[in-house]
Amino acid sequence: MNIIAVANQKGGVGKTTTVVNLGAALARKGKSVLCIDFDPQANLTNYVAGCEPRENSIASVMRAAVLFQPADIRETIYHSERFGFDFIPSDLRLSEADIYLATAMSRETVLRRVLEPVRQAYDYILIDCNPSLGLLLTNVLVASNQVIIPVQTQYFATQGLSSLEGVIGNVRMTLNADLTTVNILLTFKDKTSVATAVTETLREQYPQSVFSIEITRKQEAINSSMMGKPAGGDTGAEYRALADELIAREG
């Protein structure tokens, strides 16, 4: 069982695209996969299932857990035949979480407790994090044993990366010693000199952490998200190769 946080406090770096297409690639390889939308913007939910509102979501379960009300995470799980994985949707109610978590008992561990009934039910649980360094991210990191950081290969790509590393390191030292693996995924790669320079810099700074697979900038990735289906063509092949590399890194 692997619980992987896909995180970066910067928006627009490919977190949702990575969770959806990596999840689909792992499912195609016979792995049981649960994808969790942990962002109030609900981009993953809209990508996989459209904008239809759902009464049960990660937001409703998190709030119930804080208030010690009965709630079962299994009642929020839906299955996507098109993508081949299970998923838990999100909605705008999750934006209130920082408020009610602030005064909650053991506030950093709420998600870990919520996920307990399904931790052993899947080979992979992938969590699409919101773009912040607040309590929502802390909850995800406490519940996870791996992190994938998508980094866009553009100017200022590494801006804030050290801050995220600091949060991860602090969680590892104080709350979750099992958070042992941090990988960097280069996204939106193109043939510009800027992308080449950023790639070289990151590979020099993080030689063990950067995936060898890079996700290139392709219109087909945008089209697939608009159409609500897994990426095909070169982008789909890149995510399948990423799934292979992820599995290989786990030994």
Domain range annotation of the chain: 2-249
CA dist 65 and 69 (Å) reads: 6
For residue 194, the model assigns a pLDDT of 86
Give the count of beta carbons closer than 10 Å to the beta carbon of residue 155. 11
Q: Could you give the residue ranges of the DSSP H alpha helices within 4-134? A: 15-28, 43-49, 58-66, 97-102, 110-115
| Residues of the chain falling short of pLDDT 50 | none
The secondary structure of residue 181, as a DSSP letter, is: E
State the pairing for strand pair 78-80/85-88.
antiparallel
State the pairing for strand pair 146-152/124-129.
unpaired
CA dist 23 and 238 (Å) reads: 13
For residue 16, the model assigns a pLDDT of 95
For residue 77, the model assigns a pLDDT of 96
Half-sphere exposure of 92 (CA within 13 A, CB side): 3
Fold of the domain built from segment(s) 2-249: Rossmann fold (3.40.50)
